[in-house]
C-alpha cells in the first residue's frame, strides 16, 4: 500500500465512559515564533495544500500531556489550528460506529485525504475545536452519519498515536459508538446526512458466536489504513471480549507488544 502509515502506537488502553474522560486546556506562555519555525510550518502547509487543495486551517486542539488518575483518563491540550497542527500534531477522535446487527462502519479510500493520513479505508473521525470533545463527537455523528447518539452509548477504549505522511505524530481518542440502526438503516441515514463525508461507506462483520471478524467484503484487512486497523483492533477486542486480536493479524505480528503501552 502506498504512503503506508508507520509508527502506529497505543499510548493508553482501557475502558472509560465519557464522564471518565477529562480534557483540560492548559495555560501556555504566549510567544512569537522565530522566522525559521514560521517558515517550516508554512512550507509543510503548502505541501499539504498541493496534495489536498480542500484543506483549510480551521481550529483544532493539540495534545501536550496525559495521565491516568484512578478511573479517569486526563488529557491536557492547547488551542491550535490545522496549519500548525499538521506540523506539531493534533488531538482527534476516532469514532467506530457499531450497528444493531453487528457491523463496523468504515470510510472508503479518498485520494486527497490519503495524502495526509495514508491510503486505504479508514475509521471515520473528527478533530474537536476545544475541550468539549464528547459533545463534538455526538454532533459529528449526527451531521456525518445522520444518526443521533446518546452519550451512554459511547465507550472510550484507548488513545493512539500515528505518524502520518505529511504531519507530525497526532493522537486519536478511540471511541466505540453503539447505534440503534441496522446496517441497511445506517446506509440510508448516511446517504441523507447533511455533511456526508467523501468516500463510500464500507463494513466489516462481527461474528459474536465464534468471536471473529470478517473482512471478506473488503477483500481482506490489508485494504484498511494501518492506523484504522489498530483502532478497529481495540474495538473488536472489547466488543467480542477477546485479547490482543491484532497480534493475529499479519500486518501487526511482532509489533503489537513492542508498541502498545497497554494498561
Residue with cell 453487528: 102
Q: Which residues, including other chains, have CB under 8 Å from residue 34's CB and lie 6 or more apart?
A: none
- Output the tens digit of pLDDT for each of the chain's 263 residues: 333 445 678 889 899 999 999 999 988 765 567 788 888 878 878 887 887 777 777 888 989 899 998 899 999 999 988 787 777 778 999 999 999 999 999 988 766 565 556 667 889 988 899 999 999 999 999 999 999 999 999 999 999 988 766 556 789 999 999 999 999 999 999 999 877 767 789 999 999 998 888 888 888 888 888 888 889 989 999 999 987 665 555 444 333 333 333 33
Q: What angle do CA 237, 260, 224 make, to 5 degrees?
A: 60
The confidence score (pLDDT) of residue 154 equals: 98
Q: What is the pLDDT of residues 61-109, one digit of tens each?
A: 989 899 998 899 999 999 988 787 777 778 999 999 999 999 999 988 7
Domains, the chain, ranges and CATH?
A: 6-256 (3.90.79.10)
Read off the C-alpha cell for 258.
Answer: 513492542
Residue with cell 470510510: 107
The confidence score (pLDDT) of residue 3 equals: 39
Angstrom distance (rounded) from CA 54 to CA 235: 31
Angstrom distance (rounded) from CA 186 to CA 193: 10
Helix (H) or strand (E) holding 176: strand 170-178
Distances (CA, A) of 4 to 81, 138, 184, 206: 25, 30, 31, 26
Q: Decide if 181 contacts 170 (C-beta within 8 A).
A: no
The confidence score (pLDDT) of residue 69 equals: 86
Angstrom distance (rounded) from CA 116 to CA 127: 14
pTM of the model: 0.83
The confidence score (pLDDT) of residue 252 equals: 42
The confidence score (pLDDT) of residue 18 equals: 97
Q: Which residues, including other chains, have CB under 8 Å from residue 230's CB and lie 6 or more apart?
A: 8, 10, 160, 246, 252
What's the distance, Cα to Cα, between the start and end of the chain in Å? 31
The confidence score (pLDDT) of residue 220 equals: 85
Q: What is the pLDDT of residues 152-171, one digit of tens each?
A: 999 999 999 887 665 567 89
The confidence score (pLDDT) of residue 239 equals: 94
Amino acid at each position: 500500500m502506498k504512503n503506508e502509515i508507520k509508527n502506529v502506537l497505543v499510548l493508553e488502553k482501557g475502558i472509560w465512559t465519557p464522564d471518565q474522560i477529562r480534557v483540560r486546556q492548559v495555560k501556555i506562555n504566549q510567544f512569537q515564533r522565530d522566522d525559521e519555525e514560521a517558515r517550516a510550518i508554512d512550507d509543510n502547509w503548502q505541501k499539504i495544500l498541493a496534495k489536498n487543495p480542500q484543506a483549510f486551517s480551521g481550529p483544532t486542539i493539540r495534545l501536550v500531556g496525559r495521565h491516568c488518575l484512578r478511573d479517569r483518563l486526563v488529557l491536557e491540550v492547547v488551542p491550535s489550528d490545522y496549519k500548525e497542527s499538521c506540523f506539531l500534531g493534533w488531538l482527534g477522535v476516532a469514532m467506530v460506529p457499531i450497528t444493531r446487527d453487528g457491523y463496523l462502519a468504515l470510510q472508503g479510500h479518498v485520494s486527497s485525504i490519503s495524502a495526509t493520513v495514508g491510503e486505504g479505508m479508514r475509521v471515520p473521525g473528527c478533530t474537536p475545536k476545544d475541550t468539549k470533545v464528547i459533545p463534538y463527537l455526538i454532533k459529528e455523528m449526527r451531521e456525518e452519519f445522520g444518526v443521533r447518539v446518546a452519550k451512554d452509548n459511547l465507550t472510550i477504549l484507548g488513545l493512539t498515536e500515528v505518524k502520518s505522511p505529511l504531519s507530525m505524530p497526532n493522537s486519536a481518542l478511540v471511541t466505540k459508538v453503539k447505534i440503534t440502526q441496522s446496517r441497511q438503516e445506517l446506509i440510508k441515514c448516511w446517504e441523507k446526512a447533511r455533511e456526508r463525508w467523501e468516500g463510500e461507506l464500507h463494513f466489516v462483520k462481527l461474528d459474536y458466536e465464534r468471536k471473529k471478524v470478517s473482512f471478506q467484503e473488503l477483500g481482506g484487512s490489508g485494504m484498511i489504513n494501518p492506523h484504522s486497523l489498530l483502532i478497529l483492533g481495540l474495538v473488536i477486542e472489547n466488543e467480542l471480549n477477546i485479547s490482543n486480536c491484532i497480534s493475529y493479524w499479519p500486518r501487526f505480528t511482532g509489533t503489537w507488544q513492542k508498541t502498545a503501552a497497554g494498561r
